[in-house]
């Protein structure tokens, strides 16, 4: 079932790997809805670090994925595929994409979408799926963070970090974060972090141990990698969890295995995009039952640094590359 969809749409194409200047507006056919899918009339698309890595040629696109950038969108349902009963034409939704988000229309697995209430702007909703799925899967499932426990979250002012702070607070856990400036520290404490450490002026290991009376934290959500990993392990309480989700300082790390054994530590890591459609559907169901109600209530909201028209995706990526931002960047679509 579908409304009258146009034959073509505006998209952002990557002509060749490299800098933001390689992102260009282009025209493509509107995707046809397949069984189990919905086609979303995109109002906004979130920008994420994997988009940057794909643009740079450092992130291999799955063979079954769109070559277009964009892993999350929000908008209204424009077409419903066979076998889909949850969604109807006109429903406001946000969703994970298997690529293809930088476009006026995007086809997504219907099981990977969440309902957007009227109280949440679609431009805000577009910044939620990737972070919510990532934090839930890693900090709460793999990291086993529970109410009253403490987590150390690196990159506290990032899209992932600002979301993780709010999710931890919502369930009754506490977040200690690292940031690169005092302004970003203030942002994080305003969101609910119990302590924000400027890693440029303070040693985060010393700060964490002081904050926890030497006991350490239950979980570390690490997007830094490299030499941070061994330092992170010093921050963990016995039977604590170290969860890696990115490697901004390098993909190799030297650690003291004796610490892992002596304190019975758990090390894990994951990427969201390679997970199977069924696994993403399971995560979506978990989120809808546990975390999404806090979004509806306004207790979890994305931190949007700036929005750009879809045609200005290159300019948005330049800002992303600069690091002179916090929270998320969002592309908006004017149909």
Domains and CATH numbers, the chain: 8-128+302-332 (3.90.180.10), 131-269 (3.40.50.720)
Query: Which residues of the chain fall short of a pLDDT of 70?
Result: 1-3
Are the CB atoms for 270 and 142 separated by under 8 Å?
Answer: yes
Are the CB atoms for 149 and 175 separated by under 8 Å?
Answer: no
Which residue in 28, 159, 102 sits closest to 314, CA to CA? 102
CA distance 87 to 85: 6
The predicted pLDDT at position 160 comes to: 98
CA distance 280 to 303: 24
CA distance 126 to 331: 9
SS3 of 92, please?
Answer: strand
Q: Are strands 8-14 and 174-179 parallel, antiparallel or unpaired?
A: unpaired
The predicted pLDDT at position 1 comes to: 58
CA distance 314 to 323: 15
Contacts of 193 (CB under 8 A, 6+ apart): 153, 156, 165, 175, 176, 177
Are the CB atoms for 247 and 53 separated by under 8 Å?
Answer: no
CA distance 252 to 247: 9
Are the CB atoms for 219 and 151 separated by under 8 Å?
Answer: yes
85 to 7, 61, 80, 89, 97: CA distances (angstroms): 25, 30, 9, 11, 19
Q: Does an H or E element contain 114, and which?
A: strand 113-115
Task: Taking the CA atoms of 125, 129, 132 and 136 in sequence, report the sign of the dihedral they define.
Answer: positive
The predicted pLDDT at position 10 comes to: 98
Are the CB atoms for 287 and 136 separated by under 8 Å?
Answer: yes
User: For residues 24, 28, 30 and 31, what is the CA-based torsion angle, rounded to 10 degrees?
Assistant: -90
SS3 of 85, please?
Answer: coil
SS3 of 177, please?
Answer: strand
The predicted pLDDT at position 211 comes to: 96
Which residue in 260, 225, 216 sits closest to 243, CA to CA? 225
The predicted pLDDT at position 60 comes to: 84
SS3 of 106, please?
Answer: strand
What percent of the chain stands above pLDDT 70?
99
The predicted pLDDT at position 2 comes to: 58
SS3 of 91, please?
Answer: coil
């Amino acid at each position: 079932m579908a409304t009258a969809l146009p034959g073509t749409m505006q998209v952002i194409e990557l002509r060749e790997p490299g800098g933001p200047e390689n992102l260009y507006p282009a025209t493509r056919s509107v995707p046809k809805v397949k069984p189990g899918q919905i086609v979303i009339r995109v109002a906004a698309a979130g920008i994420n670090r994997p988009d940057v890595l794909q643009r740079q040629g450092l992130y291999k696109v799955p063979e079954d994925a769109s070559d277009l950038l964009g892993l999350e969108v929000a908008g209204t349902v424009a077409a419903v595929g066979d076998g889909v009963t949850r969604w109807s034409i006109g429903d406001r939704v946000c969703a994970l994409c298997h690529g293809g988000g930088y476009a006026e229309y995007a086809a997504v697995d219907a099981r990977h979408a969440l309902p957007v209430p009227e109280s949440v702007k679609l431009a805000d909703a577009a910044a939620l799926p990737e972070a919510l799925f990532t934090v839930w899967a890693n900090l709460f499932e793999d990291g086993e963070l529970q109410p009253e426990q403490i987590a150390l979250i690196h990159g506290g002012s990032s899209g992932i970090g600002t979301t993780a702070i709010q999710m931890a607070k919502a369930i009754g856990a506490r977040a200690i974060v690292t940031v690169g400036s005092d302004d970003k520290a203030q942002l994080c404490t305003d969101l609910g972090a119990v302590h924000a450490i400027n890693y440029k002026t303070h040693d985060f290991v010393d700060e964490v141990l002081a904050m926890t009376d030497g006991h350490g934290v239950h979980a570390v959500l690490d997007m830094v990698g490299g030499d941070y990993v061994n330092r992170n392990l010093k921050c963990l309480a016995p039977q604590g969890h170290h969860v890696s989700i990115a490697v901004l300082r390098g993909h190799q790390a030297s650690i003291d295995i004796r610490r892992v054994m002596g304190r019975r530590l758990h090390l894990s890591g994951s990427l969201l995009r390679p997970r199977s459609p069924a696994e993403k559907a399971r995560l979506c169901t978990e989120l809808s039952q546990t975390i999404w109600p806090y979004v509806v209530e306004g207790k979890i909201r994305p931190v949007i640094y700036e929005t750009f028209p879809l045609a200005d995706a290159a300019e948005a990526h330049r800002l992303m590359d600069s690091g002179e931002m916090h929270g998320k960047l969002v592309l908006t679509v004017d149909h």
